[in-house]
């Protein structure tokens, strides 16, 4: 196990604030070929924008991932987006270096493999269709329609308040009514950055990450996220650490204290994530 004070060759801004994080980084740099690099999409690899359909990977993200890929065991994107949407908005298909990329969409319910270029998806949950049909009238009925926007995600349906007149008040006032609507249809509410998503239960990013760690036999894990949906993945990394698998928890920005407060390393949003990935590939490349 690495010592807490062991220096590392990355820029000082990437020094983890916690001993466990420093151990995770040391393990990653000692054996990058055994590391899993897992990242969220919106807010981590892509800047947050007002219109979710306009979200695209940060200009440096794909290049940074492709540059790092030859030196690490595996790279996965774990997102609340449908897998195919994340692949499209990320520009992840057909990228030299990312031939083995995996995108786990819908919090792990869907999976896209770069090796096949196909998405594996579960059967549709009937509650999603019912909630989708009910939602516009429901929002009208509670007077919350103005400014909120429904995102049809196929396997889920989300209500965004970022473009509402008062986004935070709209978000808070929708929490309870949407939870009740979701429960009536056998769904759960997944809260995020000014979004409340009605989705099937049974999987989350923590479960998805744990399964993928097992699948690839990762010897250490870096997980980077920015939002409440990433808390479950953080819990998985914390559990893996107790089982002897080192991990590094990276938070992209500090807009979500519930995540940032648990991170080993907080970077400046997607541009900071890209800079970290680039530094890792430079260091791993020199050592190779
Ligand atoms: O797990 P993620 O990859 O972080 O996806 C979570 C949700 O991200 C999207 O919403 C967020 O990003 C939007 C675009 O920047 C922003 O407008 C919105 O306020 C954010 O909550 C996406 O639209 C959701 O479907 C995802 O579940």
pLDDT of residue 6: 60
Q: Alpha-carbon distance 25 to 2, whole Å?
A: 9
How many whole angstroms from 200 Cα to the centroid of ligand 1?
Answer: 17
pLDDT of residue 142: 83
Please determine, for residue 266, whether its predicted confidence score (pLDDT) is greater than 90: yes
- pLDDT, tens digit, 9 for 90 and up, residues 23-77: 999 999 999 999 999 999 999 999 999 999 999 999 999 999 999 999 999 999 9
pTM of the model: 0.96
Indicate the DSSP class of residue 256.
-
Q: Is the CB of 76 under 6 A from ligand 1?
A: no
Q: Alpha-carbon distance 160 to 43, whole Å?
A: 15
Q: How confident is the model at residue 145 (pLDDT cuts 50, 70, 90)?
A: low
Q: Locate tokens 């393990």: which residue?
A: 27
Please determine, for residue 4, whether its predicted confidence score (pLDDT) is greater than 60: no
Q: Is the CB of 255 under 6 A from ligand 1?
A: no
Residue 65 φ then ψ, to 5°: -65, -45
Q: How confident is the model at residue 8 (pLDDT cuts 50, 70, 90)?
A: confident
Q: Is the CB of 52 under 6 A from ligand 1?
A: yes
Domains of the chain, start order:
15-122+203-287 (3.40.50.1000), 126-199 (3.30.70.1020)
Judge contact between 245 and 35, C-beta under 8 A.
Answer: no
Judge contact between 174 and 158, C-beta under 8 A.
Answer: no
Query: Would you say the C-alpha torsion 169, 45, 107, 241 has a positive or negative sign?
Result: negative
Judge contact between 231 and 40, C-beta under 8 A.
Answer: no
What average pLDDT does the structure give for the chain?
95
Atom of ligand 1 nearest to the CA of 160: 19
Q: Alpha-carbon distance 265 to 21, whole Å?
A: 7
Q: Is 196 helix (H, G, I), strand (E, B) or coil?
A: strand
- pLDDT, tens digit, 9 for 90 and up, residues 83-92: 999 999 999 9
Q: Which H or E run includes 190?
A: strand 188-192
Q: Alpha-carbon distance 190 to 182, whole Å?
A: 10
Query: Would you say the C-alpha torsion 267, 175, 131, 125 has a positive or negative sign?
Result: positive
How many whole angstroms from 50 Cα to the centroid of ligand 1?
Answer: 10
DSSP characters for 50-118? SSGGG----TTHHHHHHHHGGGSSEEEEE-SS-HHHHHHHHT-TT-TT-TT-EEEEGGGTEEEETTTTE
**Beta-carbon count within 10 A of 232 CB:** 20
40 catalytic residue (yes or no) = yes
């Amino acid at each position: 196990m690495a010592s807490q004070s062991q220096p590392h060759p990355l820029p000082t801004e990437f020094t983890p604030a916690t001993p466990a994080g420093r151990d995770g980084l040391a393990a990653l740099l000692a054996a990058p070929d055994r590391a899993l690099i897992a990242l969220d999409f919106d807010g981590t690899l892509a800047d947050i924008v007002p219109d979710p359909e306009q979200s695209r990977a940060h200009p440096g993200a794909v290049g940074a991932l492709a540059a790092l890929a030859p030196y690490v065991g595996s790279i996965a994107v774990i997102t609340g987006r449908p897998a195919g949407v994340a692949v499209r908005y990320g520009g992840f298909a057909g990228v030299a270096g990312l031939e083995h990329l995996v995108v786990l969409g819908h919090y792990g319910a869907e999976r896209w493999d770069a090796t096949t270029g196909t998405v594996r998806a579960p059967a549709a949950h009937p509650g999603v269709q019912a909630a989708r049909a009910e939602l516009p009238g429901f929002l009208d009925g509670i007077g919350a329609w103005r400014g909120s926007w429904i995102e049809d995600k196929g396997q889920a349906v989300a209500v965004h308040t970022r473009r509402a007149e008062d986004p935070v008040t709209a978000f808070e006032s929708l929490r309870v009514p949407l939870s009740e609507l979701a429960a009536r249809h056998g769904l759960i509410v997944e809260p995020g950055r000014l979004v409340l998503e009605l989705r099937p239960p049974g999987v989350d990013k923590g479960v998805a990450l744990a399964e993928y760690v097992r699948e690839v036999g990762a010897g250490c894990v870096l997980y980077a996220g920015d939002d409440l949906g990433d808390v479950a993945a953080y819990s998985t990394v914390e559990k893996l650490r107790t089982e002897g698998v080192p991990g590094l928890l990276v938070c992209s920005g500090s807009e979500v204290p519930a995540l940032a407060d648990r991170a080993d390393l907080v970077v400046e949003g997607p541009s900071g994530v890209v800079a970290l990935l680039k530094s890792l590939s430079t260091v791993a490349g020199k050592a190779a």
